[in-house]
């Protein structure tokens, strides 16, 4: 790639979102079993990692563990596990509304401004230097239609806008910016940083290079010490973007921190990218930018403008996903049962013909001790159509030995075994088509 720059405005590649189905499944469970109609904001955690492919950017991903636990404890914070090199944690907030009208009525610019203000406050308080993960945030608004399993949602990645924008002086592959000795030392230092459980998920850091070409990776709080030593200094960050001419979105708030906290006018930055888990200086970029913000921009009470709503195919509109096939409990039960049979065929019985099992119809004579177990085993083996024949009634002694009955079935003289067994089998596996004679 040729050298880029010559006084153009520095442009950033937007973050892209990705949501695992497990996230929506847990949100549904929380909505039904814990939150109810309470639409208070829910803290979440997103995850991203440095770009690891020359043609594909990494996404910011939400997983099931991005949400609080769906247990009955009082905690409303999602669990945060640090040290995973492939999961740099990004704090955020979710506004899940009760109605579609409420979703459209949300004051989106106000919500974005509020999240940007949190970043601005963390910059001025010094928290962003001590824990740089707070420099990036994720905002998600959603409406979960649990009757149809439709999920409407819209992501924002709040970014503080420099005024005027930063000017790009130089941008080139890192391999063209460092000497051979520096490149070797920088790669080794970055790999060591990434392989340490203490720093693997620390996404913003310093790279200092001495006069002997020796490189060291430092925490942001060590800036003043590096400046006193007179070393060549780069502000580095994990860049999820793969583009050769644009740094990734996290650099926006990093530059805001550098300007507001340290009042630097000229900034050299390293967009750290990887290949197969190791630093790739051909893919990584080194750039130089000029920051000339207006007087008063750095004041804490003057919160900069915020940008960051994700586009949907180039338009400012929300996204929608339908997960009826994968999230309806009956379908989930069918999927899980079928998977067990498929695993058995794949691992032990290649000749097992599941289609024959699925199409079988069985008449089961008797719903006693043996009949109860046979009915359950038929369902486990994929039989979906069963007819029961038993005109006896459930006695008080039956539930201990006959697994389809409970004490309730014994009351008032006892239910007919066939009808009680049908009810029980349908509760166990709603997809079964079962009748009684």
Name the pLDDT band for 1 (thresholds 50, 70, 90). Answer: very low
pLDDT higher for 380 or 325?
Answer: 380
Q: Say how far apart CA 254 and CA 400 lie, in whole Å.
A: 66
**Residue 228: per-residue pLDDT:** 80
**Residue 80: per-residue pLDDT:** 65
**Residue 5: per-residue pLDDT:** 56
pLDDT at 408 over 90: yes
**Residue 6: per-residue pLDDT:** 59
Name the least confident of 60-74, 75-89, 135-149, 316-330.
Answer: 75-89
- Structure token pair of residue 312: 């949907």
Query: Does residue 164 have a cis peptide bond before it, meaning omega lies within 30 degrees of 0?
Result: yes
* 240-255 per-position pLDDT tens digit: 999 999 999 999 999 9
**Residue 72: per-residue pLDDT:** 61
Q: What is the pTM of this model?
A: 0.78
In percent, the amount of the chain with pLDDT more than 90 equals: 76
Instruction: For the chain, give every residue range classified as CATH 3.40.140.70.
Output: 8-160+303-323
Name the pLDDT band for 76 (thresholds 50, 70, 90). Answer: low
Instruction: For the chain, give every residue range classified as CATH 3.40.140.100.
Output: 167-290
pLDDT at 418 over 60: yes
pLDDT at 13 over 80: yes
* 350-407 per-position pLDDT tens digit: 888 888 999 999 999 999 999 999 999 999 999 999 999 999 999 999 999 999 999 9
Q: Say how far apart CA 47 and CA 19 lie, in whole Å.
A: 10
In percent, the amount of the chain with pLDDT more than 70 equals: 96
pLDDT at 239 over 70: yes
Task: For the domain made up of 328-436, give the CATH fold.
Answer: Rossmann fold (3.40.50)
Q: Say how far apart CA 279 and CA 225 lie, in whole Å.
A: 25
Domain 8-160+303-323 has CATH 3.40.1160.10: no
Q: Say how far apart CA 88 and CA 285 lie, in whole Å.
A: 20
Name the pLDDT band for 2 (thresholds 50, 70, 90). Answer: very low
- Cα–Cα distances in Å, from 103 out to 68, 106, 150, 318, 328? 21, 6, 13, 10, 23
Strand-strand pairing, 319-322 and 150-160: antiparallel
Convert the chain into a string of H (helix), E (strand) and C (coil): CCCEEEEEECCCECCCEEECHHHHHHHHHHHHHHHCCCCCCEEEEEEECCCCECCECCCEEECHHHCCCCCCCCCCCCCCCCCCCCCEEEEEEEEEECCHHHHHHCCHHHHHHHHHHHHHHHHHHCHHHHCHHHHCCEEEEEEEECCCCEEEEEEEEEEECCCCCCEEEEEEEHHHHCCHHHHHHHHHHHHHHHHCCCCCCCCEEEEEECCCCCEEEECHHHHHHHHHCCCEEEEEEECCCCCCCCCECCHHHHHHHHHHHHCCCEEEEEEECEECCEECCCCCEEEEEECCCCCCCCCCCCCCCEEEECCECCECCCEEEECHHHHCHHHHHHHHHHHHHHHHHHHCCCCCCHHHHHHCEEEEECCCHHHHHHHHHHHHCCCCEEEEECCCECCCCCCCCCCCCCHHHHCCCCCEHHHHHHHHHHHHCCCCEEEEC
**Residue 346: per-residue pLDDT:** 74
**Residue 287: per-residue pLDDT:** 97
Judge contact between 344 and 200, C-beta under 8 A.
no
- When pLDDT is averaged across residues 412-433 and rounded to a whole number, the result is 94
**Residue 327: per-residue pLDDT:** 72
pLDDT at 301 over 90: no
- When pLDDT is averaged across residues 196-210 and rounded to a whole number, the result is 95
**Residue 376: per-residue pLDDT:** 95
pLDDT at 10 over 90: yes
Contacts 24+ apart (CB under 8 A), 414-420: 416/390, 416/391, 416/392, 417/367, 417/368, 417/390, 417/391, 417/392, 417/393, 418/367, 418/388, 418/389, 418/390, 418/391, 420/394
When computed from its CA atoms, the radius of gyration of the chain, rounded to whole angstroms, is 29
Question: What average pLDDT does the chain have?
Answer: 92
Q: Say how far apart CA 371 and CA 377 lie, in whole Å.
A: 10
Instruction: For the chain, give every residue range classified as CATH 3.40.50.720.
Output: 328-436
Name the pLDDT band for 32 (thresholds 50, 70, 90). Answer: confident
**Residue 75: per-residue pLDDT:** 56
Which CATH number fits the domain 167-290, given the four candidates 2.30.110.10, 3.40.30.10, 3.40.140.100, 3.40.50.9100? Answer: 3.40.140.100
- When pLDDT is averaged across residues 144-169 and rounded to a whole number, the result is 94
């Amino acid at each position: 790639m040729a050298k880029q720059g010559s006084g153009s405005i520095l442009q950033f590649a937007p973050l892209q979102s990705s949501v695992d189905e497990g996230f929506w499944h847990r949100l549904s469970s929380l909505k039904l079993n814990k939150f109810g109609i309470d639409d208070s904001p829910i803290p979440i955690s997103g995850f991203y990692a440095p770009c690891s492919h020359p043609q594909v950017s990494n996404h910011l991903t939400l997983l099931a563990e991005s949400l609080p636990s769906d247990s009955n404890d009082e905690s409303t914070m999602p669990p945060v596990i640090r040290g995973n090199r492939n999961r740099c944690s990004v704090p955020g907030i979710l506004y899940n509304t009760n109605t579609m009208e409420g979703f459209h009525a949300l004051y989106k610019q106000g919500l974005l401004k509020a999240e940007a203000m949190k970043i601005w406050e963390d910059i001025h308080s010094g928290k962003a230097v001590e824990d740089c993960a707070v420099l990036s945030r994720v905002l998600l608004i959603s409406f979960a239609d649990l009757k149809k399993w439709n999920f409407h949602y819209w992501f924002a990645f709040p970014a503080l806008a420099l005024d005027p924008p930063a000017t790009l002086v130089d941008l080139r592959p890192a391999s063209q910016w460092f000497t051979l000795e520096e490149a070797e030392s920088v790669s080794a230092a970055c790999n060591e940083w990434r392989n340490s459980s203490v720093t693997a998920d620390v996404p913003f850091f310093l790279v200092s290079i001495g006069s002997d070409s020796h490189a060291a990776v430092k925490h942001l709080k060590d800036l003043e010490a590096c400046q006193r030593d007179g070393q060549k200094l780069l502000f580095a960050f994990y860049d999820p973007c793969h583009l050769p001419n644009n740094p990734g979105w996290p650099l926006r708030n990093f530059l805001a921190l550098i300007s507001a906290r340290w009042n630097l006018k000229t900034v050299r930055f390293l967009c750290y990218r990887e290949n197969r888990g190791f630093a790739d200086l051909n893919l990584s970029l080194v750039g130089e930018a000029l920051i000339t913000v207006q007087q008063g921009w750095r004041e804490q009470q003057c919160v900069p403008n915020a940008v960051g709503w994700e586009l949907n195919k180039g338009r400012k509109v929300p996204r929608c996903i339908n997960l009826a096939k994968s999230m309806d409990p009956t379908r989930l039960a069918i999927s899980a049962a079928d998977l067990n049979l498929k695993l058995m065929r794949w691992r032990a019985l290649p000749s097992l013909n599941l289609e024959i099992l699925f199409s079988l119809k069985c008449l089961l004579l008797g719903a006693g001790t043996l009949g109860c177990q046979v009915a359950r085993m038929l369902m486990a083996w994929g039989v979906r159509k069963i007819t029961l024949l038993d005109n006896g009634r459930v006695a008080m002694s039956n539930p201990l030995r006959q697994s389809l009955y409970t004490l309730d079935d014994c009351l008032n003289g006892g239910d007919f075994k066939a009808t009680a067994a049908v009810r029980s089998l349908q509760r166990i596996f709603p997809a079964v088509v079962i009748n009684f004679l």
